[in-house]
Structures are given as C-alpha cells and as structure tokens.
Chains A and B, each alone.
Chain A
Amino acid sequence: MSNTSLLLLAFRALRRDWRSGELRVLAAALVIAVASVAAVGFFTDRIQVAMERKSSELLGADLVIASPEPVQESFLQEARRGDLQAAATLSFRSVVLAGEDSALAEVKAVGPGYPLRGQLQVGDQPFAPAQFTQAIPKPGDVWLDERLLQVLKLAVGGRLELGTGSFVVEKVLAYEPDRGGDLFSIAPRLLMNLADVPATELVQPGSRVEYRLLLAGDAKRLENYRSWVQSRLNPVERLQGVRDARPELRAALERAQRFLGLAALVSVILAGVGIAIAARRFALRHWDSVAIMRCVGATQATVLRLFLLELLGLALLAGVSGVLLGYGAQEGLTRILADLAPVGELPSPSWRPLAPALLTGFITLLGFGLPPLLRLRNVPPLRVLRRDLGPSEQRAILLYGPAVAAVALLLLWQAGDTRLALYVFGGVVGTLLALGVAALGLVKSLTVLRGRVGVAWRFGLANISRRGTGSMVQVVALGLGIMVLLVLTLVRNDLLAGWQATLPANAPNHFLINIQPTEVGGVQQFLHDRGLAETRLFPMVRGRLMAIDGRPVNPENYANSRAQRLVEREFNLSWADDLQEDNRVVAGRWWQPGDHGKALVSVEQGLARELGINLHDTVQFRIAGQLIDAEVASLRTVEWDSFRVNFFVIFPPDVLNSYPATWITSFHLDKARKGLLTELVRSYPSVTVVDVDALMGKVREIMDRVVLAVEYVFLFTLLAGLVVLYAAIQATQDERLFESAILRTLGARKGVILQSLLAEFATLGLLAGLLAALGATVLGYVLAERVFGFHYSPDVLLWLLGGGAGLLGVGAAGLLGARSVLKQPPMQSLREGV
C-alpha cells in the first residue's frame, strides 16, 4: 500500500471515528493535558519575555554598584572620566505620617539623571492615565504610589512628614523601572529627591539602607569600567550587570515555573489514565474491522501504521485545540499573579511554549494510548469466522511500560533536575499505589452492604464491585482531584489557624528598629510610661561574616541557596549579658561576668549547622570597615516563631560598644492603642515601626494569590478526573445498555434504573470523596506534625465536604453521562447484546 493511500485511509478513518464519537473522550483528555501545560508555559513565558526585554530597565541602568555603606567616591570619579552616565539612589524603610495616619513606606531618594534606563511614569490623580516623565521629584516634593496615598488618606497637594522633614505630595508614581525590594514587595513606595535626605535625619550610622550607584553608557567603555572596578570593590559592595538583574525575580520565576509545571503534570497523568481507558475501548471496537482488513490482505505493519497515523492526526488536532485553550487559560493565571511580579505591563506571550505543550500531548498519547493499539496488529484474520477470537494477551511490561516511561520522561523534563524528578516520581507512584489500595479496599467493602439494600441499590453496588479495577481507577482519579482542592482550601486554612493558635495571645506584633543610641533611654521611658514596662531594647550592629576558622567565607562554597543568601548579606550582631528566656544553650556554655569584654560569640544552632560553624571555631566579622575575630563559646536554640527579637550571633557586653549600633525591640499592642505609634514616631522620627499585623496581612494576601493560582492549575486536574469518569462510563456503555434492557424486560421502571445508576455513581463519588478526605487529612497531619511542629486535629468538615462533593458531583456527572441507556428500546439492546 502506498504512503499516500495509507495517509488518505487514515484521514478517512479519523473522520469516520470522530463522527461516530469514538475519539471524543480521547481528544478531550488530550486537550486537557496540553492545555494545562500550555497555560503554565504561556504565563511564565510572558514574564520571562518581559524580563528579557527589560533587563536594562529592571536595573534602571546598565551597571549598578550597590552597598549598605556609601559607595566609594573614587568609583563615581572614574565613571565620569570614562564618559559614563551616572546617577545615585538611596533606599530605606521608614514610617510616613500624614495627620493621624501613618504607614511604613519603602523610601527611594534619587539624584539627577535617574533612571538611566527606562522611564518613570506619573499621574496627577490616583488611577488616572499615567504619563512618561524625564524629571525626578524636586527638593521639597515627594511622589507616592497609589497604595501609599490610600493608606495615608492623602491627595495630590497634601503634606506628609518623613523623619524630621515635611514634604508636599506632587505626583502619583505609577511606574518605576527598577522597582526594588523583594519580588513580593511588602511596603508601598515613596520617591523623593536625594538632596532632601539629610533634612529627614533618618539615615544614621548603622541604619539599614542601600546605596546604589547607577551607570550607563557605551558597551566597550562599560566593560573597561567593570574590569577596573571589580578589583577595587570592598566586601560589602556588590556589582550588578544586566545579566544578573533581579536574580531573586529570576529564581522566583524559575521556582514558579517548576512548581506550576509539576502541578500541571498531575493533570497530564490523570488525562493519561483517561486516554488509556478510551484507547482500550477504541481498539476493542476495531477488532472486527482489523480482522476484515487482515483477511483481505493487509499486513500487520499496514494495520499498525494506519492506526498510528490516525492517532497522530488526532494528537495534532487535539494538541492545537489544547494550546488554544491553554492560551486562553493563561490570561486567568496572569490576572491572579502578574502584578506580584514588578515587570510592568506584560507583553503578549511568544510561541515558545507551543512545542513543549504539543510534545507533552504526543508523549502522553503514545505512552498511554499505544499499548492497546499495538495489540490491534495481532488480531487474527480468522476472527471473521470465529468472533470469539481476539489478539493474544499483552505482557504487563508492554501494557504499562510505555505509560511509566512517558510519566518519567515528562517529570524529568518538567523538573529539570534528576533528583527532584525522582522524588516526585516516587511521590506520585507511592501516592497512586496507596490511594489505589485504599480505593480497592473501599470497593471490596461494598459487598457487605449488598445484601441489605433494595434492588436498585444492590444492582448499582454490584456494578461497582464487578468492575473492580475500573472502579478503583475512577475512585483514585476523582479522589485525587478532590483531594488537591481540599488540601488547598480547608487543610491550608486549618494549618494556618493551627499555627496561629500556637502563638501566645500577647506575641509581639510590633517591632521598633533604627533606635539611635541617644534615644534608647527616651524610648524606654516612653514605653514604660504607657504600660509597656516589660519591653527590653537590644543593641544591633551590622557586620559581614568574613571567615570561619581562617577559611574565607564565599557564597560559592555553599551548595545550599539558603546558606548562600545568609553569607551574602550582613548579619545583625548583638550583645547581651544574660540568655533570653526562649533561648537554650545546647553546646558550650553561656558567659560569666568575668567573660565580658572577651572576644566570644554565641551562635544559633541552625545557622551554625547551615554554615558549618563548630563550637570553639574562630569566626571573623567585618564591622564598619574593621575586622574582628571571636571564638564560638556556645551554640543556642531559639524559638523563632515567638516573634520576640532574637539574633543569630550574640557577643558578650563590652566588645562591640565602640561600633555604630542601633537598637531594636518588639512588643504587643492592641488594635485600640495603635494611636500610640503615631505619637512615638513624632517624638522619635528616625525610629521605624514595623507593624507585624499589617505585614502578616500582606504575606497572607500574597499566599492567597499564590494558592489561587495553584488551585487554578489544579482545576485541570479535576477536569481530567471527570474525563476519566466519562471515559469509564463510555467504556461500560454497551454493558449498561444491555443490563438496563434486561432490567426493563423483567419489569423495572425507568425510575428503578435511574436509581441504580445514581446508586452506582453516588457511591463511587462518595468513595472518591472519602478517599480524598483521608488523603488530605494524612497530608495535613504530616505537614503539621513534621513540618510546622504543632498538633493537628482532623477536621470533620473535611470529610463532610469531601464526601458531599464526591457524592453530588460525581453522582450528577455520572447520571448525565449514562442517562442515554434509558433512551434505547429494550428490544434493540437485547438484539445487539446477543
């Protein structure tokens, strides 16, 4: 047979099978698999494209030198000599006051020329159309973003106080290219002129600030400058080029891509199960036609090629539809998540995710759909005479091997890391096996009930038991979908509530930072006078860890990203004569009064483990340009979630006194007494108040959004679960038609048959729901007891909601899918069943 005629034959077969509805479930499963992968792909691609296009803009420059101390003066001079553009910025957090209202703001003070790349956008009113501007705020003026205006209840033209300075709000800041801070910026923005900073008296020695020198210009000159400056950087100065613009954003995007991608794979795997069921039925229904083809001379290879071509045609059609659906679905993800990533307006997605999504579809279809089709090739031609003859049974490796290989391949590809892929693969296989065993147990236990219920229910339950494996697959598929949703809603809330319940009612909810040494007495008195007598102030000196036992400390020396982050930034060092009550020494000993003034330190145990610091090691810190060595005298444990002020590294008194220090404290304040804070900030303008309640609210809001996005992706999982249900219904449709005909012949009314269908599907749904509740409870328990360390009390609602959702949802969906058995006259079904 020529390739062209084979292709034509396959095309005709595809058209015919599509019309007869044989391929619809297969196509639906494929569309869902491709759409879930495509949606995640398109979404992450949009952010990636935005980042690539705007990498200079994201930096506001071509090259940046950042430092917690003023950048060396010679760097600016050299840049001028090299004919580079330069601009300076200074960022810090501070409380802003407007009348009775106050808010914590991310303040950025900018000098002339800022930004060197990209443009600011400002408006005259909140939420009015924004215009590009070349200007920066004039001295005496500030620009606020919409959020800060809202919190402070200010309008353009209003006045606000920042430290000891007073400013006029001149414009609304709509967009700044190099929006700093974390990916999920906590505090709103205030933009001011660099020349105004001294008037605020906010920047004192030891304050937590970031100085940035922005540079831009000709690539060659920039490269020369880069090599000149590299050797002259001090340990706290960091160089950022376009390539490493916003590394935290890149890392977050990578994590999001990986996580959402793996979430999408759960849908792909379930869709694969749907494909396997549908492909089996498809093949079964083609045994006769294959026997006839073989009888009239088609070779095994021709048969195989024909069906492969038909399948590939289907994969192409379903793949394209899936990509289109995914393209539409990513819009939803973008709405939920995009403004958390500060990259401005997102460009349209590129077509890069197209190929991976289509490829995922092909791999899934081949892995799960090929085995039953391979069997077609072995249909004996003699079947035309003896209909009881079928192809020989497949070996298990041929039956399941391709599916397992497909899943492993997709996981490896999506995780991009063998170890992670192995973990997830193990997790997926383990979960599926555990769920499968539990589901089989539930299905078997139905037999006990059979003797005690009426005819319709007995018939429904008998159907579940008889289709044991099929029922198990359905229960697992649907249960997995429901479980994911339960975990993301109820269990998440339970965990959060459980964790909050472990916090003491009077856990500190406010921090005061940046208290100057001269203000310590005054602030203490202020708090004491207002009934906060217990409050203790701690000194804080910033220093960078330089060496451990003579070995220089380098981020590259650590594989762990947490350790890398820890050594990249400056530590908050403190001193104390006695141990805080929630600290416990686990190695070495706490100092005696005689040790005061000695170069000793006490290190938090977790940090010590992370960085490889041992008892009696010598650690070296660089504090305000000077190096200081100290011996590790003790290791401590700390209860971090007490929200009290705690430090990784503590010195004895009289060691750090000569270094610039600020003081910090935390205390609990009821909502009703928040006015006290405004009073405090007015008296001590440079003190920064961090409201943990507001912070937690913001963190929670971000978490909610992320969870919503994950739920959104897992909606595909539920859809895939429904496709499995539908595939299973379709696969048993012929049996159902026949059985319903018998029942009606024996005198059953339609109501009885409907009731038996309902009994079957509602029971299946209930089992899936109970299984989901069981899985969610176990997961919640493990997370609470092992990860978060508090006691988890199982939620009754979980079982009610899981069971109820399964019962109603699957009951209704099943009834809808199978109701056609009532339409055919019994005589017709009986004839076909013979």
Chain B
Amino acid sequence: MNATQYLVRAENLGKRVPSPEGELIILDGINFAVAAGESVAIVGASGSGKSTLLGLLAGLDTPSSGRVWLAGTDLNSLDEDGRAQLRAQRVGFVFQSFQLLPGLTALENVMLPLELADHADPEGAARAVLQQIGLGSRLRHYPAQLSGGEQQRVAIARAFASGPELLFADEPTGNLDRRTGQRIIDLLFSLNRQQGATLVLVTHDTELARYCDRSLELDGGRLQAAEPVSAAAPVELGLSVSV
C-alpha cells in the first residue's frame, strides 16, 4: 500500500534520549500504518513508550530515527511551524489531564483551534459543539469552575470543533472515575463516528482498547504483533449523549 493512502504511517521510528547511564532507548524500529476512518488503540504498560509514540505521530517531538507520514506529508520535511499548521488543519487532541487553558473560558478554549485554523465563524462553531455536548450553560465558565468530567467534555469539544480528519487521544479517561470515564468514552466514540474521523488512542486500559477497530501493543519500546480487529464492537455507540 502506498504511503499516501494511509492517514498515519510510521517507518522505522526510533527515539533515544541521553541519560547518566548512557543512551536510553525509548522507542525502536516502530513500523505501522493507520488507514483513513480506522480507529486504533496503542496499548502498553507504564513506561512502554506509548505517550512518546503519540507525540512523535502528532509531530509534537522529533524522532531520533525513522519518519512519520501524516496525511501524506513527511513530518521530517516540515519545520516546527509547518507541523503546527498541519495539526491546525487536520488534527484534534484529547489528553488525560484535559490540558485546557486556565485563563480562557470554556467557549474561548473551544474557539482556540478554530481561530488558529482561520475558521470563518469560530464563535458560532464553538457554541454549536458545546451546545451539542450539553455544556450550553457553561460557556463563560473557566476550567477551574468546571468538574473533571465537564472539563474533559470541553476538551473533547475542542478536539472535534474544527472537524479534524485525525484524532489523537492520550488516556482520555485516566483522570476520571469509572462512571464519568464511561460517559466520556461514549461521547468520544459517538462524535468520532459522526464525523468519520480516524482515531489513534493511547491507553493502558485493555477494556477501552476493545472499542477500537484494532490494537497495537508496545513493550519495551518495540511494537508487538498486531492484534486482529476486535469482533466485540461496543453496542452503545451511536447513542445520543447526555452526561
């Protein structure tokens, strides 16, 4: 398959960092590809290099070796600003600790990526998404005035507001209790399905990984044999969400 037919492709990807005991290998010889519309979970224990891999795939960090193609573009060929622009146009993020900007209101946080991508009506679009996920009454609230679940919903709204082709999620339920976490998962996959986006999800939770089309397992910085696509797709998908 040609690189351009995949939305994400990693080729011989490696990351090493210097340490007092010599060079530390975090990722080594990673090869895989994600097709458009596919949802892929990257699973592994703590310290297996999951988050580092996600950072490299999103162009948030540069690899020590190998390359990443994102939407047909070799990230190595772009500079920092070029990578930022690519993210602004095509990529959304959901993080474990929400990563909302504390100085901006819920509405302003959601508007941020829209404005960065030169959207025609950032405020209208942001309002619409927030309304859709049931936070219409929380537009002017600052992150500190919202509960953990609400904050993560704002983060999800921010990720989907610009209609990205590709969504990266890093342990999106890691900081939430089980019940709230479940609702967030439902919301994430429901929106993903609605928008037909490609999802790359990093988690140590194999339960959560089962929601994805397939899982990749990281161990000691190397990718283990890929699991086949799960047959047990979640049944709740497609539910309208009220968290």
Which residues from chain A sit less than 8 Å from chain B, CB to CB? 450, 454-455, 458-459, 462-463, 465-466, 735, 739, 741-752, 825-828, 830-831, 833-834
Residues from 60 to 107 in B contacting A, C-beta threshold 8 Å: 60-62, 80-81, 84-89, 91, 93, 95-97, 99, 101-104
Give the residues in chain A near B89, CB-CB below 8 Å: 747
Of the candidate stretches B2-10, B28-36, B110-118, B177-185, the one touching chain A is B110-118
A354–B182 alpha-carbon span in the complex (Å): 69
Residues from 34 to 64 in B contacting A, C-beta threshold 8 Å: 51-52, 55, 58, 60-62
Are B115 and A455 within 8 A (Cβ)? yes
Among residues of B, the one whose C-beta sits closest to the C-beta of A753 is: B84
A746–B162 alpha-carbon span in the complex (Å): 10
A813–B240 alpha-carbon span in the complex (Å): 51
- Is B108 part of the binding interface, using a Cβ–Cβ cutoff of 8 Å? yes
Give the residues in chain A near B58, CB-CB below 8 Å: 745
With contacts A466-B103, A743-B112, A834-B96 taken as known, whether A748 is within 8 angstroms of B84 at the C-beta atoms is: yes
Among residues of B, the one whose C-beta sits closest to the C-beta of A747 is: B88
Measured CB to CB, the closest approach of chain A to B160, in angstroms, equals 13
Are A825 and B51 within 8 A (Cβ)? no
Are A747 and B103 within 8 A (Cβ)? no
With contacts A458-B108, A466-B102, A746-B113 taken as known, whether A828 is within 8 angstroms of B61 at the C-beta atoms is: yes
A377–B149 alpha-carbon span in the complex (Å): 36
Among residues of A, the one whose C-beta sits closest to the C-beta of B92 is: A746
Q: Which of A462, A742, A825, A830 contacts B62 (CB 8 A)?
A: A825
Measured CB to CB, the closest approach of chain A to B38, in angstroms, equals 22
Measured CB to CB, the closest approach of chain A to B76, in angstroms, equals 15
Are A459 and B95 within 8 A (Cβ)? no
**Pairs across A and B, CB under 8 Å, 24 listed:** A455-B111, A455-B116, A459-B104, A459-B112, A462-B103, A463-B103, A466-B102, A743-B116, A745-B60, A745-B99, A746-B88, A746-B93, A746-B158, A747-B86, A747-B88, A747-B91, A747-B117, A750-B80, A825-B60, A825-B61, A828-B61, A830-B60, A830-B95, A831-B51
Are A749 and B85 within 8 A (Cβ)? yes
Are A747 and B55 within 8 A (Cβ)? no
Measured CB to CB, the closest approach of chain A to B63, in angstroms, equals 11
A258–B194 alpha-carbon span in the complex (Å): 76
A750–B81 alpha-carbon span in the complex (Å): 6
Among residues of A, the one whose C-beta sits closest to the C-beta of B91 is: A747
Main secondary structure of the interface of A (DSSP, over half): helix
Among residues of B, the one whose C-beta sits closest to the C-beta of A738 is: B99
Give the residues in chain B near A454, CB-CB below 8 Å: 115
Give the residues in chain B near A828, CB-CB below 8 Å: 61
Give the residues in chain B near A459, CB-CB below 8 Å: 101, 103-104, 112
Among residues of B, the one whose C-beta sits closest to the C-beta of A751 is: B81
Given contacts A459-B101, A746-B113, A746-B158, 12 further A-B contacts (CB under 8 A): A459-B104, A462-B104, A462-B108, A742-B101, A745-B58, A745-B99, A746-B88, A747-B87, A747-B88, A748-B84, A748-B116, A833-B99
Measured CB to CB, the closest approach of chain A to B175, in angstroms, equals 9
Give the residues in chain B near A465, CB-CB below 8 Å: 103
Q: Which of A749, A826, A834 contacts B60 (CB 8 A)?
A: A826
Among residues of B, the one whose C-beta sits closest to the C-beta of A460 is: B103
Measured CB to CB, the closest approach of chain A to B242, in angstroms, equals 27
A466–B81 alpha-carbon span in the complex (Å): 27
Give the residues in chain B near A735, CB-CB below 8 Å: 102
A594–B115 alpha-carbon span in the complex (Å): 94
For the A-B complex, the count of residue pairs with Cβ-Cβ distances under 8 Å equals 84
Give the residues in chain B near A826, CB-CB below 8 Å: 60-61
Chain A CB within 10 Å, residue with most, of B84, B108, B158: B84
A752–B87 alpha-carbon span in the complex (Å): 14
Measured CB to CB, the closest approach of chain B to A556, in angstroms, equals 66
Give the residues in chain A near B81, CB-CB below 8 Å: 749-751
Among residues of B, the one whose C-beta sits closest to the C-beta of A746 is: B113
A742–B86 alpha-carbon span in the complex (Å): 15
Give the residues in chain B near A834, CB-CB below 8 Å: 96-97
With contacts A455-B115, A825-B60, A828-B61 taken as known, whether A744 is within 8 angstroms of B84 at the C-beta atoms is: yes
Among residues of A, the one whose C-beta sits closest to the C-beta of B102 is: A466
A752–B85 alpha-carbon span in the complex (Å): 11
Chain A CB within 10 Å, residue with most, of B51, B60, B61, B93: B60
Are B84 and A747 within 8 A (Cβ)? yes
With contacts A454-B115, A747-B91, A749-B84 taken as known, whether A830 is within 8 angstroms of B99 at the C-beta atoms is: yes
A830–B95 alpha-carbon span in the complex (Å): 10
Give the residues in chain B near A458, CB-CB below 8 Å: 104, 108
Residues from 222 to 239 in B contacting A, C-beta threshold 8 Å: none
A745–B101 alpha-carbon span in the complex (Å): 12
Give the residues in chain B near A450, CB-CB below 8 Å: 108
Contact indicator per residue, chain B 103-139, by CB within 8 Å of chain A (1) or not (0)? 1100010011101110000000000000000000000
Contact indicator per residue, chain B 201-239, by CB within 8 Å of chain A (1) or not (0)? 000000000000000000000000000000000000000
Q: Which of B51, B87, B103, B108 contacts A746 (CB 8 A)?
A: B87
A466–B103 alpha-carbon span in the complex (Å): 6
Chain B CB within 10 Å, residue with most, of A450, A747, A830, A833: A747
Chain A CB within 10 Å, residue with most, of B89, B93, B116, B117: B116
A617–B108 alpha-carbon span in the complex (Å): 80
Give the residues in chain A near B62, CB-CB below 8 Å: 825
Give the residues in chain A near B86, CB-CB below 8 Å: 747
A826–B61 alpha-carbon span in the complex (Å): 7
Among residues of A, the one whose C-beta sits closest to the C-beta of B113 is: A746
Give the residues in chain A near B103, CB-CB below 8 Å: 459, 462-463, 465-466, 739
Give the residues in chain A near B85, CB-CB below 8 Å: 747, 749
A466–B144 alpha-carbon span in the complex (Å): 12
Give the residues in chain B near A744, CB-CB below 8 Å: 60, 80, 84
A746–B116 alpha-carbon span in the complex (Å): 8
Measured CB to CB, the closest approach of chain B to A748, in angstroms, equals 5
Among residues of B, the one whose C-beta sits closest to the C-beta of A466 is: B103
Measured CB to CB, the closest approach of chain A to B134, in angstroms, equals 23
Measured CB to CB, the closest approach of chain A to B124, in angstroms, equals 14
A743–B213 alpha-carbon span in the complex (Å): 30
Measured CB to CB, the closest approach of chain B to A415, in angstroms, equals 43
A747–B58 alpha-carbon span in the complex (Å): 10
Give the residues in chain B near A752, CB-CB below 8 Å: 116
Give the residues in chain A near B95, CB-CB below 8 Å: 830
Among residues of A, the one whose C-beta sits closest to the C-beta of B104 is: A462
Measured CB to CB, the closest approach of chain A to B59, in angstroms, equals 9
Are B88 and A748 within 8 A (Cβ)? yes
Give the residues in chain A near B101, CB-CB below 8 Å: 459, 462, 739, 742-743
Measured CB to CB, the closest approach of chain B to A820, in angstroms, equals 15
Residues from 130 to 184 in B contacting A, C-beta threshold 8 Å: 158
Give the residues in chain A near B60, CB-CB below 8 Å: 741, 744-745, 825-827, 830
A744–B99 alpha-carbon span in the complex (Å): 12
Give the residues in chain B near A743, CB-CB below 8 Å: 101, 112, 116
A649–B82 alpha-carbon span in the complex (Å): 87
Chain B CB within 10 Å, residue with most, of A752, A826, A828, A833: A826
A466–B104 alpha-carbon span in the complex (Å): 9
Measured CB to CB, the closest approach of chain B to A782, in angstroms, equals 38
Give the residues in chain A near B116, CB-CB below 8 Å: 455, 743, 746-748, 752
Measured CB to CB, the closest approach of chain B to A744, in angstroms, equals 6
A454–B85 alpha-carbon span in the complex (Å): 17
A813–B241 alpha-carbon span in the complex (Å): 49
Among residues of B, the one whose C-beta sits closest to the C-beta of A458 is: B108
Give the residues in chain A near B99, CB-CB below 8 Å: 742, 745, 830, 833
A465–B104 alpha-carbon span in the complex (Å): 10
Give the residues in chain B near A739, CB-CB below 8 Å: 101, 103
Give the residues in chain B near A751, CB-CB below 8 Å: 81
A752–B102 alpha-carbon span in the complex (Å): 18
A745–B83 alpha-carbon span in the complex (Å): 9
Closest 6 pairs (CB-CB, A-B): A747-B88, A466-B103, A455-B115, A827-B55, A827-B61, A747-B87
Are A745 and B87 within 8 A (Cβ)? yes
Measured CB to CB, the closest approach of chain B to A65, in angstroms, equals 77
Among residues of B, the one whose C-beta sits closest to the C-beta of A752 is: B116
